[in-house]
Amino acid sequence: MAAPPLLILQDIRHGFGSHRLLEGATLSVSPGERLALVGRNGSGKSTLLKVAAGLIEAEGGTRFVQPGATMRYLEQEPDLSAFANVMAYVEAGLGPSDDSYRARYLLGELGMTGEETPAALSGGETRRAALARALAPTPDILLLDEPTNHLDLPAIEWLEGELASLNCALVLISHDRRFLERLSRAMVWLDRGTTRRIEQGFSNFEAWRDQVLEEEERDAHKLARQIVREEHWLRYGVTARRKRNVRRLENLHTLRAKHRERVGAQGRVAMSASEAAGSGNLVVAADAIGKSYGDRVIVRDVTTRIMRGDRVGIVGPNGAGKTTLLNMLTGVLPPDTGEVRLGTAIEMVGLDQKRASLDPSITLSAALTEGRGDQVHVNGQPRHVIGYMKDFLFTADQARTPLSALSGGERGRLMLARAFARPSNLLVLDEPTNDLDLETLDLLQELVAEYSGTVLLVSHDRDFLDRTVTSVIAWEGDGRWQHYAGGYSDMVAQRGHGVRARTGEAKAATAPKADPAPRAASPAKRRGLNAKDQHELKTLPARMEALGKEIAALERKVADPAFYTRDAAGFAAATQALATAQAALAAAEERWLELEMLREAAE
C-alpha cells in the first residue's frame, strides 16, 4: 500500500486583520514527493508554508504531522545575528544523528568557509548560509521558500542537482520556471485563499491553470445568462401561478446573491511600453574595451556590435561584472581602455536591480507621476494614474500608500510601471525578474519579446532568457566575455556548459598552465555515439510516448473517488504503478536529453 502522508493541512484559514489570505486551504505531503506551491504574490504561499512548518498557528483548520517525522524550513529572510559565524549558524540546525561534515561540504560548495561573520554578509551570502543550514540535516520533509532568491546561475544549477539527489519530500515555492520544471512532480495552486492540486510537474501547470480559469469564466457567463432569463420571465411570464412565481423570485434572489459573492480570478497585468522614434541602425559599438579595479580585471578587451532590434542577455556569476559591463555598453561608466560609441537618436530607459531610484517616503501615485498632477503619459497619451496603476495590479486604495509599505513584488511592479511609461527605443533591464510572480513574468516576457526597440538584459532566469533574448554575452573568466547567438540554452549547446562559478574559475586561472581544449570538451566530443547509443536514441521517443499514455491512464484510474472504497488493494497497486511509471518516464527523458546532447556535440 502507498505510504501515508507525512504532513496534512486541512481547511486552513488565516488572515491579517480584515484581509483574509487563506480560506479553506489544504496541503498533503507524502514521503519522497516533489511538490511545488505556486500562486500570485501576496496570495499566502509563505503563510501556508509557515503553518506547515509549525511556525505560526492558523486561525482555523487542522495540522497533522506523522509522529517522528522530521522537517526543515528555509525562510525568505533568515536572521543570523545571534551567531558568532556562519558555521555556528549552520551547525545549530543539525540534529543529534546528523553529520557535521555535510555542513562543511555544503558551505564549501556554496563558496563559503563558515568563518564569515553575519554582519559582513551580503544578501546572497546570507541566503547561501540558510540553504546550507536547511540541507545539512536529513529531514523527512524539506520546506523551501524561494530557495533561488539572490543566487546566481552556478549556484542555482548546483542546487537543482543537490535537491534532485535527496530522498526526502520537497515542498518548493519559487518563481524560477526552469527550477520548478526540473524538480516538481506535483503542483498545488493557491488562488483566492483555496488550493487546487494537479499530479503533474510545472511543465503542465500553466495550461491546466488557464483551463481552470476559462471554465470559471464560462460558469460565470452561464450564471449571468440565467439571471437575465429569470428576470425576463418575471416581467413577461404567466402571472396566474402565484406560488411558482414566488419560488422563481426566490431563485432569482439566490442567483443574484451567488453572483455578487462570487470571487473572480485575480487581475492580470496589462503592460505596454511607451516607444520613442526608432534609433539608428547601430545602437552600441564597443571596441577593445576594458575595466579593472585594482589588480582585478573585470572586462578584458571586449569588442561587440549591438544593432537596432537586438535583445541581448548578459550572464555570469555574482561578482563577475555583469552590471559593470552593462553600464559600460550604455555609456554610464567609461572604460579604462578602448572605446564605446552609442548610436544616434537613442532614448534609453533603465531598470536597476536594487530599485535604488525609489524614495521610500513618497506615495505610489507620486512615484508614477513624478509628483506632477494625476496623469501618466503612455505612448504620448495621458492616462489617469489610478487606471494605469490597475494595469499593474495596484488598487485605487494604494495610491496614497508610501513605498516603504510595499512588498518586494509590488516594488518590482512599480519599477516596471515607471520604466514602461517613459518613451524609449533602448530598454536596459538589470535583474527585472526579481520578486515577480509567474503571471507578471509571463507578460513581461511578452513585452520584451515584442518590443520593437533594442533590449540589454542582465538576468539569472534561464527560462526568461530563452524566451526573450536573441543573443547572449557570457562571462568566460578572467575578465573575458563572449557573444553567443540565441538564448541561454543555445549558449549552453555552443560552449558545452552553463555559467560556472567565479571561485572555480579563479582557481583554474591560478592552476598550472595546460591545454584548455580537452578540459572544456564535453564527453560527446571525445567519443560520440556508439551503435548502442544510436539505437537507444532512436527508440526512446516511442518509449516516452508509451509511458506518457500509461501514466495518463493510471491517473484517470486513481482519480476515481470510488476506486479506493471499492478495491483498496487495487488502488494501492495502481498508485505504486503510477509512481513507477513516472520515475521511468523521468529517467527516459534524462537519458534522451543526454544522448541528444552527445549527438549534437559529435556533429
* pTM (two decimals): 0.67
pLDDT attached to residue 27? 94
Reported as a pLDDT band with limits 50, 70 and 90, residue 513 is: very low
pLDDT tens sequence across 151-167: 888 889 999 999 999 99
Reported as a pLDDT band with limits 50, 70 and 90, residue 98 is: confident
| Residue 283 φ then ψ, to 5° | -95, -50
pLDDT tens sequence across 22-79: 999 999 999 999 999 998 877 889 899 999 999 999 999 999 999 999 999 998 888 8
pLDDT attached to residue 602? 62
pLDDT attached to residue 482? 92
Query: Higher model confidence: residue 353 or residue 511?
Result: 353
First CA to last CA across the chain, in angstroms? 48
User: What is d(CA 150, CA 160) in angstroms, rounded to the nearest whole number?
Assistant: 15
| pLDDT tops 70 at residue 347 | yes
The type of residue at 105 is Y
With a pLDDT cut of 70, the percent of the chain lying above it is 81
pLDDT attached to residue 61? 93
Mean per-residue pLDDT, 498-506: 63
pLDDT attached to residue 511? 35
Inter-helix orientation angle 438-450/408-421, to 10°: 20
pLDDT tens sequence across 538-547: 888 888 888 8
Mean per-residue pLDDT, 575-598: 74
DSSP string, 235-267: HHS--S-HHHHHHHHHHHHHHHHHHHH--PPPP
Reported as a pLDDT band with limits 50, 70 and 90, residue 380 is: low
Mean per-residue pLDDT, 198-217: 86
295 Cβ neighbours under 8 A, 6+ residues apart = none
| Residue 12 φ then ψ, to 5° | -75, 130
